[in-house]
Structures are given as C-alpha cells and as structure tokens.
Amino acid sequence: MNHLLRSHAPISDNVWEQLDEEARERLTPGLAARKLVDFSGPFGWEHSATNLGRTTPLSSPPADGVQGRQRRVLPLVELRVDFQLSRDELRDADRGAPDADLEPLDDAAHQMALAENVAVFHGWADAVTGIADASPHDGLRLGDDTNEYPTPVAEAVEKMMCRGVTGPYGMALGREQYRRVVETAEHGGYLLLDHLRKILDGPIVWAPGVRGAVVVSLRGGDFAFESGQDLSIGYDSHDADVVRLYLEESFSFKVATPEAAVALAD
C-alpha cells in the first residue's frame, strides 16, 4: 500500500475499478495540456524536483581559492481535489447498478483537468510559468467573429515560422471558443474546424480553463510536463454515510522555448 491508502477505504475492488474508470473517462477529454506538450514520468510521489541544469554562484565558499555553486531545481507542485461519495451509492454500484451517483467524482475530475490546464497554459503564481505567460508574441486576438478566426491563427503560425519554430502546430481552445468553432461552417459550407486544422497541420483540443486560445508547436522539446505522481484517487476518511476521497497529482512544467507558442486573447 502506498500513500494513497486505498486499501483502507471501505470500497470493494470491483467498485475501485469503476471509480478509476469513471475518473479516466471524465479526465481524459479535458486534459488539453497533455495532448500538446511533452510528457515524462510518472516518477513517483517521492519525486520532488526537476533538474534545470543551472546553478547560482555562492558568495562565501568554505575555503580560499574554492568556488561554490548551488544547483537550481524546479520544485514539483501538487494538485488535490477532495470529494465524497455516498456509501449507499457505492453499495448499489457493488450490486451492479449502472447509474450509481458518482457526480462528485465527475465534478472533481473536471476541476482537476481545469486546474492542470490553467497552470500549464496561463501559469500559477510563484509555482508555474505558463505557456501564454512565457510567450514573447503578443497582440493577437481571436475576437468574437468566428469568420475571422483563421486570420489570427494563421498569423500565429507565421509568427512562429519567422522565429524558426517549425510545425506541426496544435491549438488549445477555451470552452466557448471550441463550441463556436465546431458549430461554424464558413462560406461554402467548409467546416471552420477543418480549415483551422489545415492551417495548423495538427490537432485542435478542447481546453477548459484556457482563456481564448493558445497555439503551440508540436515539434517537441519546447514544453516539458514532468509527472511525479500521476493522477490518482486516494482515500482520506469515512463515516457511516460517506467515503471521503481525493484526486491528486504532482508535476512540474517548464517552458524551454517561449517563442514556440502564441496566445490568442478572446
């Protein structure tokens, strides 16, 4: 048993499998960052920092004639979303009920995906520098008129090409922008989604939490998501009525090439 303490929960193996499967199904559509950046790991709960390969000079070495340097690392951050499930519902799930109420888990999964996206694309104060924060390209907007969307997306691609950042490219779209894109057919009936995919030569992903859109190069080596403990369900406590669980992960995120992304404000 590890730190998640799953074996201590009053939950059968069968229901644990159902909970894990439900969480996977709910998380995967919204985990936009993982669809666009390089992923490494998981390296375990004990993994605490990412090597940056950089040092800071130390001013007072322990002896004359000796230079001292301290390694700089990027500490991992932890995300955790607590939720609780009714024990009656879990008992029903054990009996084979196909409609057991797992809504609190679904909500927690959505919040976790949203938090991961926000941290990666827009940053997290004092903890994570986001892709949009780091990008040196600015001034582009998507706007409200979907007929104009291809223009800023093509400009974003061209801006990156000018800096030597090759494709293919992918785009994370906020919820509202994604909805607009998939429902829009341009003049002549050509789907806007297909048009944008042709410009990017890569995927367009639904990204809850993203403000506007973020276009990134998918050539690799530009954005590094390092997973410590990958997304997991852990056990906290229980009483006669509910079981308290949580979704958890630890990770670091590093932008290696800021110019390999362009944020498009809404």
Partner 1 sequence: MGFDQYHEPPDELPAATRTFARLCASLTEEAEAIGWYEQRIAIETDPEAVAVMRDAVGEEYKHFSMDLEFLLRRTPAWREIAQGVLFQPGDIVEHGEEAEEEALEGGAGGETSDGSLGIGGLRGVSR
Interface with partner 1 (CB under 8 A): 1-2, 4, 6-7, 9, 11, 13-17, 19-20, 23-24, 27-29, 31, 34-36, 38-42, 44-45, 203-206, 218, 225, 227, 229-234
**Cβ 211 to partner 1 shortest distance, Å:** 20
Is 125 in a helix, a strand, or coil?
coil
H or E element at residue 24? helix 13-27
**Cβ 2 to partner 1 shortest distance, Å:** 5
Q: Cβ distance 128 to 79 under 8 Å?
A: no
Comparing CB distances to partner 1, the nearer of 105 and 165 is 105
Q: Cβ distance 246 to 197 under 8 Å?
A: no
Peptide bond into 62 cis (omega under 30): no
Q: Pick from 262, 121, 135, 253: which is nearest to 200 by CA?
A: 262
Comparing CB distances to partner 1, the nearer of 119 and 205 is 205
**Cβ 225 to partner 1 shortest distance, Å:** 8
Comparing CB distances to partner 1, the nearer of 4 and 264 is 4
**Cβ 110 to partner 1 shortest distance, Å:** 15
- Residues 6 or more apart whose CB falls under 8 angstroms from that of 63 comprise none
Comparing CB distances to partner 1, the nearer of 128 and 218 is 218
Report the alpha-carbon distance of residue 69 to residue 56 in Å, rounded: 5
**Cβ 14 to partner 1 shortest distance, Å:** 8
Comparing CB distances to partner 1, the nearer of 57 and 115 is 115
Q: Cβ distance 253 to 119 under 8 Å?
A: yes
